[in-house]
C-alpha cells in the first residue's frame, strides 16, 4: 500500500498536470515527450474505467502520431487547445456557472469566490478567466495539496483535506464529470479526449481517496 506522503505527492502532481492542460496551451516539451514516449502511464487503479480509458486514449494518440515532427505535433496541440478553449466559438464551456446555473457569471461563481476568500486565495490581477473556470478550480485543489505536504501539524493537514472534500463535492463533482463527457464527445477534440477521461476518472476517485486519508488521521 502506498504511504501517505506518496499519495499526497501523486495527487498534487496529477492536479498540477490537469490544471495546466486547461489553463494554457500545451508546451512544446509535451509534444516532444509524447513522440519520444516519455509519458508514463501508471497502473494506479487498474479497475477504474475512466482513468484507464484516459491512459488508453493517450497511448492511442501517441501511436497515431509516431514519426511526426515535434513542431508539427506541437502546432496541432496548440490548434486543438485554441479551438476548444479560446475560440472564437468555445464548443464546451469550461465554467461551473454554465453547467450549474445555465449561464456564465451565475451564482455558482459567487459561491466559488467566497470559498476561495475563506481559504485566503485571491485571483491574480493578470488572470483573465473567472474563478469558476475548470483550471482555477483544479489549481485550488493543487494549492491545498501543497498545503497538506507542507503542513507542520496533523490539524492543518486534516483542515486542508476537509476543505478539499467539501470543495470537491460542492463544486467540482457537480459539473466537471458532465463537462468531461461533453469534451470527450466533441468532434474538435483528439488529444483532449484522453485529458477529459483522466480528469473525470481522477475526480470521481478523489472523494474516496480523501476519505481514506482522513481515516488515517
Burial class (CB in 10 A: 0-12, 13-18, 19+), 64: exposed
SS (H, E, C) the chain: CCCHHHHHHHHHHHHHHHHHHHHCCCCHHHHHHHHCCCCCCCCCCCCCHHHHHHHHHHHHHHHHCCCCCHHHHHHHHHHHHHHHHCCCCCCCCCEHHHHHCCCCCCHHHHHHHHHHHHCCCCCCCCCCCCCCEHHHHHHHHHHHHHHHHCCCCHHHHHHHHHHHHHHHHHHHHHHHHHHHHHHHHCCCCCHHHHHHHHHHHHHHHHHHHHHHHHHHC
Q: Which residue reads 489553463 in cell numbers? A: 23
Q: Which residue reads 506522503 in cell numbers? A: 5
Residue-wise pLDDT for 52-89, tens only, equals: 889 889 989 999 999 999 999 999 999 999 999 998 89
Q: Which pLDDT value is given to residue 87?
A: 84
Q: Which pLDDT value is given to residue 37?
A: 75
d(CA 48, CA 53): 8
Q: Is the pLDDT of residue 140 over 60?
A: yes
d(CA 172, CA 133): 10
- With a pLDDT cut of 90, the percent of the chain lying above it is 78
Q: Which pLDDT value is given to residue 39?
A: 72
Q: pLDDT tier at 41 (50, 70, 90 boundaries)? A: low
Q: pLDDT tier at 127 (50, 70, 90 boundaries)? A: confident
Q: Which pLDDT value is given to residue 61?
A: 93
pTM: 0.93
Q: pLDDT tier at 42 (50, 70, 90 boundaries)? A: low
Helix axes 173-185, 134-149, angle to 10 degrees: 120
Q: pLDDT tier at 40 (50, 70, 90 boundaries)? A: low
Q: Which pLDDT value is given to residue 124?
A: 74
Q: Which pLDDT value is given to residue 82?
A: 97
Burial class (CB in 10 A: 0-12, 13-18, 19+), 89: exposed
Q: Which pLDDT value is given to residue 43?
A: 53
- Determine the structural domain holding residue 212 and report its residue range: 4-216
Q: What is the pLDDT averaged over residues 196-209?
A: 94
Residue-wise pLDDT for 21-32, tens only, equals: 999 999 999 999
d(CA 9, CA 72): 33
Q: Is the pLDDT of residue 46 over 80?
A: no
Q: Which residue reads 477504474 in cell numbers? A: 48
Q: What is the pLDDT averaged over residues 192-209?
A: 95
CATH of the domain at 112: 1.10.3480.10
Domain total of the chain: 1
Amino acid at each position: 500500500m502506498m504511504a501517505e506522503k506518496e499519495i499526497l505527492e501523486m495527487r498534487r502532481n496529477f492536479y498540477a498536470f490537469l490544471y495546466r492542460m486547461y489553463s494554457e496551451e500545451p508546451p512544446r516539451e509535451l509534444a516532444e515527450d509524447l513522440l519520444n514516449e516519455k509519458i508514463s502511464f501508471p497502473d494506479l487503479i487498474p479497475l477504474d474505467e475512466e482513468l484507464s480509458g484516459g491512459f488508453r486514449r493517450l497511448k492511442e494518440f501517441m501511436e497515431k502520431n509516431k514519426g511526426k515532427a515535434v513542431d508539427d505535433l506541437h502546432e496541432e496541440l496548440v490548434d486543438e487547445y485554441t479551438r476548444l478553449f479560446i475560440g472564437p466559438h468555445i464548443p464546451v464551456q469550461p465554467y461551473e456557472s454554465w453547467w450549474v446555473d445555465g449561464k456564465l457569471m451565475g451564482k455558482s461563481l459567487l459561491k466559488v469566490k467566497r470559498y476561495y476568500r475563506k481559504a485566503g486565495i485571491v485571483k491574480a490581477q493578470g488572470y483573465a478567466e473567472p474563478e469558476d473556470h475548470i483550471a482555477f478550480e483544479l489549481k485550488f485543489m493543487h494549492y491545498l495539496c501543497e498545503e497538506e505536504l507542507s503542513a507542520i501539524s496533523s490539524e492543518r493537514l486534516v483542515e486542508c483535506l476537509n476543505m478539499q472534500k467539501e470543495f470537491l463535492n460542492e463544486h467540482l463533482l457537480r459539473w466537471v464529470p458532465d463537462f468531461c463527457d461533453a469534451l470527450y464527445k466533441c468532434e474538435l477534440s483528439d488529444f483532449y479526449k484522453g485529458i477529459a477521461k483522466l480528469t473525470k476518472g481522477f475526480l470521481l476517485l478523489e472523494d474516496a481517496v480523501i476519505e481514506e486519508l482522513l481515516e488515517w488521521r
